[in-house]
């Protein structure tokens, strides 16, 4: 059986790191979470990194803190993509802001031209998803945001390890916050955790309090050094939430991180083979990546005439594809925007995610590509977008 996504854990190293936590009697926030924040900063070049229990929590917090800091009002607008996991978009209305949808480009990332058309005098920010690990037209989007005084939040859930000329795009000037996911099937898998990396130290400092109920941890940390005598003596500065990560998750992340680059390189090797085998078929549209030789390739997608039939043909051979993701405006909660993003609708009807993980090899890719080509031959034409 071949699954679409399947994490690979370096079990002995993970257990060793977890053992440290158990023996020390420290499984919560601090200890390994601090170690992993430092390791992530060293690996990515981010100046700030706050370890959280999920990317979802980080996206919510990014907008929550910016709304407070920059004085945004309820009903102010954030331009976002319809092709993403629902976490990206829920962060907006949960903060009392309005999600305005712009269309995607051929990389399935936000299209700067359509974003520009959707800017109003209430627009405050853009949520950009580095979809599948691809940077899409992020550079252009940053320039657009700068011209219009908008903040840019990067949902980097798929982007662990993505680089452009050796640099992590989340660290580019003009990205106000980059939010990573280390959820169970992401490139750097733990079970559930994430990281928020603010460009500004001030926002990182607020996030450290807000992610822990608003408790002023500076006081806490100072008191802690006096053997806990003054542990009760902290202040609460915000109505925060409990979004902090823990040492068990950080332990797994610390064990996995040293393998991230070589594992992403292996993904790219599989992707290059898929590309070679599928590229000349007029019924198949590959979703390519700019800077493909430095892309994390969290997922590999193609568009075909009849996606459901292809999923079935693969499943008949015990090969399981997926769909990442449906156009979010097809969901009841965002139906108000349905019809405004035609390319996203088109992709939503035709994309399929083919298996791409560290458990398959080039022979598997060839077998899968064969099934894809045979099945697609039986199908009609790929409709116009
Ligand atoms: C997985 C994912 C998230 C959510 O990440 P969690 O760590 O599970 O909260 C957000 N956005 C995208 C694009 C994702 O794929």
Q: Do 162 and 133 form a contact (C-beta atoms < 8 A)?
A: yes
Given CATH 1.10.10.10, say whether it is the number of domain 260-377.
Answer: no
Name which of 17-21, 226-230, 269-273 the model is least confident about.
226-230
What average pLDDT does the segment 15-39 reach? 96
pLDDT at 222: 56
Q: What backbone torsions phi and psi does residue 239 show, to the nearest 5 degrees?
A: -85, 85
Architecture of the domain made up of 11-258: 3-Layer(aba) Sandwich (3.40)
β-partners of residue 151 are: 125
Q: What is the DSSP letter of 295?
A: -
The pLDDT value recorded for residue 47 is: 98
Q: Residue 229 has what pLDDT?
A: 61
Domain ranges of the chain: 11-258, 260-377
Q: Which of 52, 56, 182 to mutate to test the pocket of ligand 1 (most atoms within 8 A of CB)?
A: 56
Q: How far is the CA of 181 from the centre of ligand 1 (A)?
A: 6
260-377 and 11-258 share a CATH fold: no
Number of Cβ within 10 Å of residue 109's Cβ equals 25
Count how many Cα atoms sit within 13 Å of the Cα of residue 349 in the half-sphere of its side chain: 11
| Mean pLDDT, residues 3-12 taken together | 97
Q: Which residues line ligand 1 (CB under 6 A)?
A: 54-56, 84-85, 87-88, 129, 155, 157-158, 181, 183, 194
96, burial (CB in 10 Å: exposed 0-12, middle 13-18, buried 19+)? middle
Determine the pLDDT at residue 216.
86
- Residue-wise pLDDT tens digits, 341-368: 999 999 999 999 999 999 999 999 999 9
Average pLDDT over residues 129-145: 98
pLDDT at 225 over 90: no
Best mutation site among 53, 62, 181, 195 for ligand 1 pocket (most ligand atoms within 8 Å of CB): 181
Q: What gap in Å lies between CA 169 and CA 43, rounded to an integer?
A: 13
Q: Does pTM top 0.95 for this prediction? A: yes
Q: Categorize the per-residue pLDDT at 233 as very low, low, confident or very high, splitting at 50, 70 and 90.
A: confident
Query: Tell me, what's the pLDDT at 221?
Result: 63
The pLDDT value recorded for residue 217 is 72
Distance 99 CA to ligand 1 centre (A): 17
């Amino acid at each position: 059986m071949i699954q679409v996504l399947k994490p690979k854990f370096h079990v002995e190293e993970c257990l060793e790191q977890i053992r440290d936590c158990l023996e020390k009697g420290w499984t919560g926030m601090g200890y390994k979470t601090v170690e992993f924040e430092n390791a992530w900063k060293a690996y990515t070049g981010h100046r700030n990194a706050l370890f959280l229990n999920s990317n979802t929590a980080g996206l919510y917090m990014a907008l929550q803190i910016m709304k407070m800091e920059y004085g945004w009002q309820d009903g102010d607008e954030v331009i976002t993509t319809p092709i993403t996991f629902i976490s990206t978009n829920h962060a907006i209305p949960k903060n009392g802001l309005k999600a305005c949808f712009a269309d995607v480009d051929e990389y399935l990332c936000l299209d700067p031209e359509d974003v520009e058309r959707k800017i109003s005098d209430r627009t405050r920010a853009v949520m950009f998803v580095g979809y599948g690990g691809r940077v899409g037209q992020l550079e252009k989007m940053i320039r657009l945001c700068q011209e219009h005084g908008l903040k840019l939040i990067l949902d980097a859930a798929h982007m662990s390890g993505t680089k452009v000329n050796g640099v992590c795009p989340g660290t580019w000037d003009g990205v106000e916050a980059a939010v990573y996911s280390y959820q169970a099937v992401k490139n750097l898998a733990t079970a559930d955790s994430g990281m928020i990396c603010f460009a500004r130290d001030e926002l990182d400092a607020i996030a450290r309090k807000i992610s822990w109920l608003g408790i002023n941890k500076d006081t806490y940390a100072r008191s802690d050094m006096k053997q806990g005598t003054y542990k009760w003596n902290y202040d609460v500065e915000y109505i925060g939430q409990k979004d902090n990560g823990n040492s068990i998750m950080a332990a797994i992340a610390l064990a996995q991180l040293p393998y991230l680059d070589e594992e992403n390189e292996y993904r790219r090797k599989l992707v290059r083979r898929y590309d070679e085998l599928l590229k000349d078929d007029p019924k198949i549209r590959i979703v390519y990546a700019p800077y493909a030789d430095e892309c994390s390739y969290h997922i590999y997608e193609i568009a075909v005439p009849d996606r459901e039939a292809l999923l079935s043909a693969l499943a008949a051979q015990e090969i399981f594809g997926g769909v990442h993701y449906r156009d979010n405006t097809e969901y009841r909660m965002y139906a108000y925007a349905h019809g405004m993003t035609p390319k996203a609708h088109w992709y939503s009807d035709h994309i399929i995610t083919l298996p791409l993980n560290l458990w398959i090899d080039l022979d598997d890719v060839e077998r899968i590509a064969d099934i894809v080509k045979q099945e697609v031959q039986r199908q009609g034409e790929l409709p116009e977008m």
